[in-house]
Structure 1
Amino acid sequence: MGYKIGELISRLESFAPPSYQESYDNATLITGDRSTVLTGVLCSLDCTEAVVEEAISLGANLIVAHHPIVFRGLKSFTGKNYVERTVIKAIKNDIAIFAIHTNLDHVSNGVNKRISDRLGLVNTKILQPKKQILSKLEFFVPPSGKDKVLKAIHTAGAGKIGEYSECSFQTKGTGSFTPSQNANPAIGEKGKAESLEEIKIEVLVPNHQIGKILGELKTNHPYEEVAYYLTNIENENQEVGAGMIGELSEPLEETDFLDYMKKKMELQVIKHTTLLKKKIKKVAVCGGAGIFLLPDAKRAHADIFITSDVKYHEFFDAENRLILCDIGHYESEIFTKELLGELLSQNFPNIALYLTKVVTNPTSYR
């Protein structure tokens, strides 16, 4: 029995959790059934009619695309535009379409890391870390049960801060309780007040893993009822967010770097602001439309900011503090299909896996 489509989706969603996507996004299974047995998967930047036709010809019944073919609700399916025609063709031919968009942009090993790697950047980090995706978990445990509980919740994903794992803060105190006649206390007697030494443990937990972590806490805790507090916090998650910044191993002259980038990113055209007559060392990137990160690139003292979809007046906002480059939306993200292919091949080595040969770039140059 082969893999089911849902198994591949679950792996992709564990790499780039859906909760990391922006509110306007639609990173999800758009057509198809998770319980369907997989016959093959086609990775692409966009999902168009031509890509669906390619999947049909390859015998692949799952398309994993970066860009969702459907952003907003469709009120009719008459084939009046390319979105409706693509969805109709996919449904008629039992092709599942799965989109993994801004959630893949926001993970530290996602779209922007792929760009950074192609440019040879080192010491990379998220340019604009995401807020409100972490919570603080506080709970109480007797000393005899502490190690077992901590091991379980750390394994489930609690207590990670940047490059540090198994982080917690512990304070000793006295816990008190009175079990009811219907209780089954691990410590103490029914109807009798009890007080004992307990340890209060505080850890950070990613919001998308709260259910799993609480499950492990309750399963491994010695008490029948576990007392805990869960509080959403404003802290930035340094491993999740928009854009990326890194450094070249050796500084390059501006024109040399532009030529280097053109080769590495396989570009035909680069739009950029005035050169500043200084070497390039610190490089900020954002695949797709990333002009909203220009203030962050400035604050990080980037020498150059590489993105796409920059409007005419937005180029002025660089204010000669850095070079602002627009390399094209398609060009900035086309290598995402390789990222998806590698991720799937590492986890599902025996599936029929393809990278689209269809050029979905709606823009041409001459």
Structure 2
Amino acid sequence: MIVNDVIKHLEALAPLEYAEDFDNVGLLVGDKNSNVSGILVTLDTLESVVDEAIEKNCNLIVSFHPIIFKGLKKLTGKTYVERTVLKAIKNDIAIFAIHTALDNALLGVNDIICNTIGLKSKRILLPKKGTIKKLTTYVPNENTETLRKALFQAGAGNIGNYDNCSFNSEGIGTYKGNENSNPTLGEKGKLHSEPETQVSVTFNTHVENKVLNALFKAHPYEEVAFEVATLDNYNQTIGMGMVGELEVPQNSNDFLKFLKTTMNVSCIRHSEITKTQVKTIAVLGGSGSFAIGAAKASGADIFVTSDLKYHDFFSAEGQIILADIGHYESEQFTKNFLVDYLSKKITNFAVVLSTTNTNPVKYS
């Protein structure tokens, strides 16, 4: 097994195309064609984690957070980032970071939180825009069904709970090939009219290459006329945060105690308890102050997130309870999830859970 084999499994779970623009995801250190001796999964990659990888004979670290976030101009070992990268390079250890790609994944960070605290009827809090594309092409009527099936198999035509979705309109296509052409139908140098079907299908951005390859393989024409457009629709299966429901409403204070225990949190910073009971819960792992407005608009009774500043708590305005459980704490179960996921995909290969506690925040 090589590093790229592991990357393919991770990108199937959380396509890197959906990571935020500010982020730095993917293979940060190492050669994707290197053979893998072992995989260590961690929340953060620090020097101590690289030491653990060396000790456990793992030459690939799968990290949630990227150790290289801003550009590195020097590698002198002056900072913890430089020292970590240098140690990884010296010991031929590759580092892959998944971060906001997994934040935005349907079965990612926020789904993990929802499942941990037992939420049902889950939906994306902030659906991502610009991740749905539409392919339009024209095909002879007799080849329409074959082409549609090929596009569907490549991942096109899936919308929410539906698949095999397309729009089809019949008309007449015309063309005249020059002396270098080799038309499938008609003769070169002669104007040809052909009954054709305009086929339109939507697809998620990350499968564009597969869809286009299927188009070119299944289409009978020498030259395929097509266009791809990015839609403004919000993608209900990709985005930050989630909203879910408790099976039974809980007293607000009791829920905070439950949250503290279930999420293994030392303390919870929260806004004023303005609701007697909570049932609808919004969650967003990591720094979530930017989503307070969306959480309020969703009708959530409480918003569970982290890194809230003093003035952020005023934004509750009596409409919602804001609960800051800590950055590390909100994402801590991510590495367990990734170990389970990779272990199921790579059944004959050891995937190791890092035991290094990388939380930089301590409580007294």
Q: What is the TM-score when the length of structure 1 is the normalising length?
A: 0.97
**C-alpha distance in 2, partners of 1:180/1:86?**
61
Match of residue 22, structure 2, among 21, 24, 27: 24
**C-alpha distance in 1, partners of 2:175/2:203?**
27
SS in 1 for 2:352: strand
- Give the partner amino acid of 1:254: S
Consecutive unaligned residues in structure 2, runs of 5 or more: none
**C-alpha distance in 1, partners of 2:42/2:275?**
38
1:279 is matched with which residue?
277
**C-alpha distance in 1, partners of 2:160/2:294?**
20
- State the Cα distance separating 1:253 from its structure 2 match: 0.9
1:94-143 Cα offsets, whole Å, 9 max, x none, are: 11111001011001000100000001111111101111122211111122
Match of residue 137, structure 1, among 117, 135, 138: 135
**2:275–2:301 contact (8 Å) kept in structure 1:** no
1:62-81 Cα offsets, whole Å, 9 max, x none, are: 00000000101111111111
- State the Cα distance separating 1:259 from its structure 2 match: 1.5
1:118 is matched with which residue?
116
Map 1:140-155 to 2 at 5 A: 140-155=138-153
Match of residue 194, structure 2, among 193, 196, 217: 196
**C-alpha distance in 1, partners of 2:153/2:302?**
39
**C-alpha distance in 1, partners of 2:58/2:254?**
42
- Give the partner amino acid of 1:58: K
- State the Cα distance separating 1:181 from its structure 2 match: 2.4
SS in 1 for 2:163: coil
Q: What is the TM-score when the length of structure 2 is the normalising length?
A: 0.98
**C-alpha distance in 2, partners of 1:101/1:16?**
9
- Give the partner amino acid of 1:233: L
Identical amino acids, percent of aligned pairs: 48
Are 1:52 and 2:50 an aligned pair?
Answer: yes
Map 1:204-223 to 2 at 5 A: 204-223=202-221
1:295-346 Cα offsets, whole Å, 9 max, x none, are: 1111111000000000011110111100000000000001010121112111
- Give the partner amino acid of 1:328: G
1:250 is matched with which residue?
248
**C-alpha distance in 2, partners of 1:251/1:204?**
39
**C-alpha distance in 2, partners of 1:158/1:5?**
28
RMSD over aligned CA atoms reads 1.0
- Give the partner amino acid of 2:296: K
- Give the partner amino acid of 1:88: L
- State the Cα distance separating 1:21 from its structure 2 match: 0.9
**C-alpha distance in 1, partners of 2:106/2:338?**
14
Are 1:84 and 2:82 an aligned pair?
Answer: yes
1:169 is matched with which residue?
167
**C-alpha distance in 1, partners of 2:128/2:72?**
30
- Give the partner amino acid of 2:10: L
**C-alpha distance in 1, partners of 2:76/2:187?**
69
1:328-366 Cα offsets, whole Å, 9 max, x none, are: 000000101012111211111111211110110011112
Deviant stretches of 4+, over 6 Å: none
Consecutive unaligned residues in structure 1, runs of 5 or more: none
1:267-292 Cα offsets, whole Å, 9 max, x none, are: 11111111123211100000000110
**2:343–2:350 contact (8 Å) kept in structure 1:** no
- Give the partner amino acid of 2:239: G
Greater shift in the superposed pair: 253-262 or 289-298: 253-262
2:327 is matched with which residue?
329
Corresponding pairs, count: 364
**C-alpha distance in 2, partners of 1:150/1:346?**
32
- State the Cα distance separating 1:160 from its structure 2 match: 1.4
**C-alpha distance in 2, partners of 1:12/1:5?**
11
- Give the partner amino acid of 1:231: A
- Give the partner amino acid of 1:17: P
2:94 is matched with which residue?
96
**2:272–2:318 contact (8 Å) kept in structure 1:** yes
- State the Cα distance separating 1:208 from its structure 2 match: 2.3
SS in 2 for 1:317: helix
- State the Cα distance separating 1:59 from its structure 2 match: 0.3
1:298 is matched with which residue?
296
**C-alpha distance in 2, partners of 1:223/1:277?**
64
Map 1:305-320 to 2 at 5 A: 305-320=303-318
SS in 2 for 1:239: strand
- Give the partner amino acid of 2:325: I
